[in-house]
Amino acid sequence: MKISILGTGHVGRALAAGWAGAGHDVVLGSRRPDDPDLRAEPAERWGERIRVADPASAAADAEVVVNATPGTASVAALSAVGAPALRGKVLLDVGVGFDAEGNLSHLVESLGEEIQRTFPDTRVVKTLCTIDRELMVAPDSLEGPSTVFLSGDDADAKRTVAGLLADLGWPADSVLDLGGIATARGQEHYALLFMGIAEAVGSYGFGIRVVPPAVRD
């Protein structure tokens, strides 16, 4: 599958490596595509399965577009790519927005909802925003199973994203579909609890698990 990842920070690069390792063709979309350091890293680490291009070119031929840009800049970054280039495509959104004081920027409407409202012809699926970048691509690094969530209005798009999660090592029973894109609010607001847990345990490398009630006779 052809995957475009908009954002070349730690999250974007981790996901690029994970999907390239699973056999997908990945293009990193960067505002500085000619940066020699950025171009050298994919060639050195991942070979020809990862390329670097400007965001619009990266998204042009992609089957799935991944938003790994900072949440406060995501809509502007996607608008620069343009609605026509995103029309009909699956957009996997991992972003969470924080303001300058470290507070969530999207308190009433989630970033996922804002993206879906701004690009109504794009099939937005929210996922992977409840875990650290290293766990995103290595769910088996934990002592036990963890849960990752899906939010989106398009069932086919969620199936596509679930398949990409499987390619990163997430088993089917770890993927919980929360429902429509409005449920992305819960995923994004978990960032506050995530930071509290990280401080308490001294690590970002943890997962969470939804444990169902016991079945009783």
> For residues 35 and 30, what is the distance between their CA atoms, to the nearest angstrom?
9
Residue from 40, 106, 38 nearest 73 by CA: 106
pLDDT at residue 45, as a whole number: 57
For the structural domain made of 2-201, what CATH number should be given? Answer: 3.40.50.720
pLDDT at residue 8, as a whole number: 87
- The mean per-residue pLDDT over the stretch 13-35 comes to 87
- The mean per-residue pLDDT over the stretch 104-125 comes to 96
Q: Which residues pair with 192 in a beta bridge?
A: none
Task: Kindly indicate the confidence band of residue 19, based on its pLDDT and cuts at 50, 70 and 90.
Answer: very high
Task: Kindly indicate the confidence band of residue 182, based on its pLDDT and cuts at 50, 70 and 90.
Answer: very high
- The mean per-residue pLDDT over the stretch 189-207 comes to 95
> For residues 175 and 187, what is the distance between their CA atoms, to the nearest angstrom?
13
Q: Which residues pair with 66 in a beta bridge?
A: 5, 92
Tokens of 13: 């690069």
Kindly write down the DSSP assignment for every residue of the chain, as one continuous string: -EEEEE--SHHHHHHHHHHHHTT-EEEEE-S-TT-HHHHHHHHHHTGGGEEEE-HHHHHHT-SEEEE-S-TTTHHHHHHHH-HHHHTT-EEEE----B-TTS-BS-SSS-HHHHHHHH-TTSEEEE-STTS-HHHHT-GGGSSS---EEEEES-HHHHHHHHHHHHHTT--GGGEEEEESGGGHHHHHHHHHHHHHHHHHHT-S-------PPPP--
Are residues 209 and 144 in contact, defined by beta-carbon separation less than 8 angstroms?
yes
Q: Which residues pair with 120 in a beta bridge?
A: none
Task: Kindly indicate the confidence band of residue 35, based on its pLDDT and cuts at 50, 70 and 90.
Answer: low
- The mean per-residue pLDDT over the stretch 33-39 comes to 63
pLDDT at residue 50, as a whole number: 85
Name the residue ranges covered by the structural domains of the chain. 2-201
Mind listing the pLDDT tens digit for each residue in 146-173? Answer: 999 999 999 999 999 999 999 999 999 9
- The mean per-residue pLDDT over the stretch 41-54 comes to 68
What's the pTM? 0.93
Mind listing the pLDDT tens digit for each residue in 54-93? Answer: 899 999 989 999 999 999 999 999 999 999 999 999 999 9
Tokens of 37: 């350091």
